[in-house]
């Protein structure tokens, strides 16, 4: 299944492994015509992505993925169609970056107590100029043969309850929505199937999200099952939210997630791209 629209992707500006240019080129090769770059808490990759996109005829939607906190639980939100340099968004991003840095130092200290030396420095080196994330710690742990795979690095060291986990309070959900909206963007609840949350609580989250100005929810993600698509389409309709689609592509090394490899967009759900001024059909035949 191929979608010509992919609204959730990462580059080396955060924890992706391709440069913005490489990402846009690969997206085009995979049949993606409308692409959003949504790096974690940064818009640094967008300028380069936009230049390449223009060269090769891809429509680039400027985006971001923000970590936010709601009722002591962390969620991810995608902002689509943002002005990447808007001052309100930019100052919000700076706060998140400071939080990321102090969290990363604490992750390093905790791993050090578990006889894993140099993790902060190692992760920071891997992140380079990009936003520092737990993925970089996971890559460091794999490089150091402390974990066999990225997934195991998270499971053994970085997930909640594990030695390197540092509880973090990100910007409140409402604040994240305000930053995105101020920058002219649409706030989208990212990969809803990933959260450990009861249906009752999810409905409270969606109510608060909508009230605060959130407009869309990802109904098709790179790893969505058919049931996930049905379930979140239902929620989109019930809460009057638009539907978005995004693979959450990070790296060609992950064989399970590919740019544009997405289930068909569900009938009946209003697509977010119409609101972005894009009148295109995301389902194109696989090739």
- Contact positions vs Mn ion (CB under 5 A): 15, 65, 76, 248
- Within 8 A by CB and 6+ apart from 281, the residues are 4
Answer whether 83's CB lies under 8 Å from 181's CB. Answer: no
250 binds ligand AMP (CB under 6 A): yes
What spatial distance separates the first Cα and last Cα of the chain, rounded to whole Å? 9
Across 161-182, b (16+ Cβ under 10 Å) vs e yields: eeebbbeeebbebebbbbbbbe
Select from Mn ion, ligand AMP, none the partner in contact with residue 247, using the beta carbon and a kind-dependent cut-off of 5 to 8 Å: none
> Does 44 interact with ligand AMP (rule: CB under 6 A)?
no
By the rule CB under 6 A, 43 interacts with ligand AMP: no
Nearer to ligand AMP, 59 or 76 (CB): 76
> 3-state class of 236 per DSSP?
helix
Q: Which stretch binds ligand AMP (CB under 6 A): 55-63, 148-156, 178-186, 235-243?
A: 148-156
Q: Taking CB under 6 A as the rule, does residue 133 contact ligand AMP? A: yes
Candidate list 154, 157, 232, 265; residue touching ligand AMP; CB under 6 A? 154
Q: For residues 182 and 176, what is the distance between their CA atoms, to the nearest angstrom?
A: 10
Q: Of ligand AMP, Mn ion, none, which one sits near residue 60, judging by CB under 5 to 8 A according to partner kind? A: none
Considering the complex, what minimum distance in angstroms separates the CB of residue 135 from ligand AMP? Answer: 4
Residue 151 binds which entry of ligand AMP, Mn ion, none, with Cβ cut-offs from 5 to 8 Å by kind?
ligand AMP
Measured distance CA(214)–CA(125) in Å, rounded: 35
144 versus 283: smaller Cβ distance to ligand AMP: 144
Residues paired with residue 189 on neighbouring β-strands, in sequence order: 77, 217
Q: How near is the Cβ of 76 to ligand AMP at its closest, in Å?
A: 7
Residue labelled with tokens 């309850």: 161
Quote the tokens at residue 34. Answer: 């409308």
68 is an interface residue for ligand AMP by CB under 6 A: no
Q: Determine which residue in the list 26, 110, 134, 191 makes contact with ligand AMP, applying CB under 6 A.
A: 134
The tokens for 88 are 């309100």
List of E strands, 125-241:
171-172, 186-189, 216-221
Closer residue to Mn ion in complex, CB, 56/248: 248
Residue 150 interaction partner, one of Mn ion, ligand AMP, none, beta carbon < 5-8 Å per kind: ligand AMP
Could you write out the DSSP letters of every residue in 93-141?
A: HHHHHHHHHHHHHHHHHHHHHTT-TTHHHHHHHHHTTSPP-HHHHHHHH
| Residue 110 binds ligand AMP, judged by CB under 6 A | no
Residue 134 contact among Mn ion, ligand AMP, none, beta carbon within 5 to 8 Å by kind: ligand AMP
CA–CA separation, 217 vs 236, rounded Å?
7
Q: Which residues are near ligand AMP by CB under 6 A?
A: 15, 40, 67, 133-135, 150-151, 154, 250
């Amino acid at each position: 299944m191929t979608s010509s629209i992919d609204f959730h992707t990462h580059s080396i500006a955060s924890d992706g492994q391709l440069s913005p240019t490489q990402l846009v080129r690969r997206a085009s090769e995979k049949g993606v015509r409308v692409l959003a770059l949504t790096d974690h808490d940064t818009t640094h990759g967008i300028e380069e992505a936009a230049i390449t996109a223009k060269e090769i005829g891809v429509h680039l939607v400027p985006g971001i993925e923000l970590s936010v906190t709601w009722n002591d639980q962390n969620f991810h939100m995608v902002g689509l169609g943002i002005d990447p340099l808007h001052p309100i968004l930019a100052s919000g991003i700076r706060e998140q970056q400071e939080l990321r840095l102090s969290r990363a130092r604490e992750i390093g200290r905790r791993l050090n107590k578990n006889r894993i030396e140099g993790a902060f420095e190692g992760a920071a080196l891997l992140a380079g100029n990009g936003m520092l994330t737990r993925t970089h710690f996971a890559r460091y742990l794999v490089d150091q043969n402390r974990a066999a795979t990225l997934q195991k690095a998270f499971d053994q060291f970085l997930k909640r309850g594990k030695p390197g986990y540092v509880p973090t309070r990100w910007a409140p959900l409402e604040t994240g929505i305000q930053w995105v909206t101020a920058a002219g963007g649409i706030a989208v609840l990212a990969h809803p199937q990933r959260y450990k949350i009861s249906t009752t609580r999810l409905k409270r989250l969606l109510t608060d999200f909508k009230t605060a100005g959130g407009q869309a929810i990802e109904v098709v993600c790179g790893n969505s099952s058919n049931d996930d698509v049905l379930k979140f389409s239902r929620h989109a309709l019930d809460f009057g939210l638009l539907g978005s689609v995004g693979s959450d592509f990070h790296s060609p090394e992950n064989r399970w997630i590919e740019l544009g490899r997405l289930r068909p967009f569900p009938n009946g759900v209003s697509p977010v791209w119409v609101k972005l001024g894009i009148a295109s059909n995301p389902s194109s035949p696989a090739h």
